[in-house]
Chain A
Amino acid sequence: MRTLRVISAIFLKDLRVEWRHRETLASMCIFGLLVVFLFNFAFEPAREESLRLLPGLLWIAFAFAGVLGFNRSFAAERENAGLEGMRLAPVDPGAIYLGKMLANLFFMGIAEVVVVFAASLWYNFSFIPSLGWFALATFCCTLGYVAIGTTFGAVASNTRMREVMLPVLQFPVAVPIFIAGVESTAGALKGDPIGDYSYWIKLAAGFSIIFVVLSYLLFEYVLEE
C-alpha cells in the first residue's frame, strides 16, 4: 500500500513538473517527428517501399526520442538536488524506480502516438485496421525499452557527457527490443496472422519483466552516494 503511494507520488510529481515546464515531452515529440521527416529525404520512398521501411523508421524514431526523455528525467533531478531528497526519504528505492519508470512510459507513449500519427499522415498509411495488435506489440517493446532506459538514465546522470553515455549504454542492451519491435510491428502492419509474430511479443514481454525486476532490485545501488 505504502509502496503504491510512493510510486503514484513520484509519477504524479513528474507529470506535474512536465506540465509546468513542457520541456521533455516537447523535445521528444519534435525529435521523433524530425526523424520521420528526414527519412523522406534519406530514402525518397515510393508507397510500397515506405510500407516496408515504416516499422524500422518508427523504431529509430522511438529509440532516439526515448533516449532524449530518459536523459532529461534524471538530469533535472540532479540539477535540482531532487535525488538527495528522494534518498533521504525512508522509502523503498525500487518504488522510486517504478514511479520514474511509469512517468517515462507515459511520456514515451504520448511521443509514440504523435510520431505514429505523423507517419501515417505523411506516408498515407492507415494504422486503423491493425491497431489492436500494433498497439500491443508497441506497448510490450516500449515497456522493455523504458525499463532499461530509466535505470541507465540514472546511471548516465553520474557521468560527464551523459548525452553520449546514455545511448552507448542503452542501445547494445536494447538490441532484442529493437529486433522484436521491428519484427512484430511489421507483422501487425502487414496484417499477418498473430501466430506468425506472437513469439516476438512474448520475447519483448519476457525482456520487460526481467529488466523491470532487475532494475527494481538494483536501483538502490544506482541511487546511493
Chain B
Amino acid sequence: MKKLFPPTLHLIVTLVWLIAASYLIFLYAPQEATMGEVQRIFYVHVPSAWTAMIAYFLIFLGSVGYLWKRRDAADDFAHGAAEIGFIFCTCVIVTGPLWAKPAWGIWWTWDARLTLTFVLWLLFVAYLMLRSYVINPGRSAVLAAVVGIFGFVDVPIDYMAIRWWRTQHPQPVIAGGEGSGLDPRMWVALLVTWGAFLCLFAYLMRQYLRLAALQREVTRLRRLRSSSQEA
C-alpha cells in the first residue's frame, strides 16, 4: 500500500480531485431553478453528511473489532474515524443553516433530518470528550468502544423516533417523487465531490493511523529507556 500509493501521491490526487470538484460545482453544474446560485452549497453539504455517516459506521466497526481482538490498530481506526467524521459532521451543521436561511427563510428548524444530524454531531462530541477525559489512559480504548457501540445502535431508533415526531420538510431533494429528480450534470458534480471527500477522508485517516502508531512507538521507547536507566 505504502509503496504502491505513497501518502504524497495520495495528497496530490486528493488536491487535484478537490479542484476538479470545485470546477464541476461552480462552472459545470447548471443553476438551480428556484434557489439560484445558493443551491451550490448542496454539493458540499450532502457529500459531507454521507461521509460523516460512513465515519460513524467505521467507529462502530473499529469498536467491535477492538473489543473482540484487542488490537490497538482497531482502536486507532475508531478514534481516527471519530475525529475526521466530527469535522465532516460539523461541516454539515455549518453549511446547513447557511443554505436554509436563503432557501427557507429561517436558519434552523427542528425537522427530522436536521434534528438527527444534530444528534449525530452530539454523539461524535460525546465520544471524543470521553476519550480525552478518561483518567487512566489504558482504559480509554475499552470505554470508548462501549460508547461507540451504544451510539451506533441508538442511531436507527433515533431515526424512527424523530421521523414519527417530525415529518415536515425533508423529502423533495434527491429521490423524492416525480419531477424532483436532479439534473444529470448535478448528479455528476455531487458524486465527484463525494468521491473527493472520501479520498480526503482516506488520506487523513492514513495520516492519523501513522501518527498513532508513531506515538505508541515513542511511548514504548521512552519506557524502555527509563527502565534501562533504573537498571
Contact = CB atoms under 8 A, between A and B. Distances in A.
Q: Check if A and B associate.
A: yes
Interface of A: 148, 151-152, 155, 158-161, 165, 168-169, 171-173, 175-176, 179-180, 183, 199-200, 203, 206-207, 210-211, 214, 218, 221-222, 224-225
B161 A155 contact: no
Interface string B38-74: 0000000000000000000000000000010000000
A2 B157 CA distance: 33
B interface bracket (residues with beta carbon within 8 Å of A)? 20 to 34
Contact of A222 (B126, B136, B146, B153): B146
- Which of A175, A221, A224: most chain B CB closer than 10 A? A175
Contacts of B145: 221
Contacts of A161: 133
Given A169-B130, A172-B126, A179 B162 contact: yes
B192 interface: no
A176 B161 contact: yes
Given A172-B126, A203-B161, A210-B153, A160 B133 contact: yes
A203 B157 contact: yes
- Which of A152, A159, A200, A210: most chain B CB closer than 10 A? A159
Interface of B: 67, 119, 122-123, 125-126, 129-130, 133-136, 139, 142-143, 145-147, 149-151, 153-154, 157-158, 160-162, 164-165
A74 to B, nearest CB: 13
Given A161-B133, A171-B122, A203-B164, 7 more contacts: A151-B150, A152-B147, A158-B139, A165-B129, A176-B154, A211-B153, A224-B142
B198 to A, nearest CB: 26
A176 B135 contact: no
B132 to A, nearest CB: 9
Given A158-B135, A172-B122, A218 B161 contact: no
9 contacts: A152-B147, A158-B139, A160-B135, A172-B119, A179-B164, A199-B164, A218-B67, A218-B149, A218-B150
Contacts of A172: 119, 122-123, 126, 151, 154
B119 A159 contact: no
A25 B150 CA distance: 27
Given A155-B130, A165-B129, A148 B161 contact: no
A149 to B, nearest CB: 12
A199 B151 CA distance: 23
A155 B146 contact: yes
Nearest to B124: A172
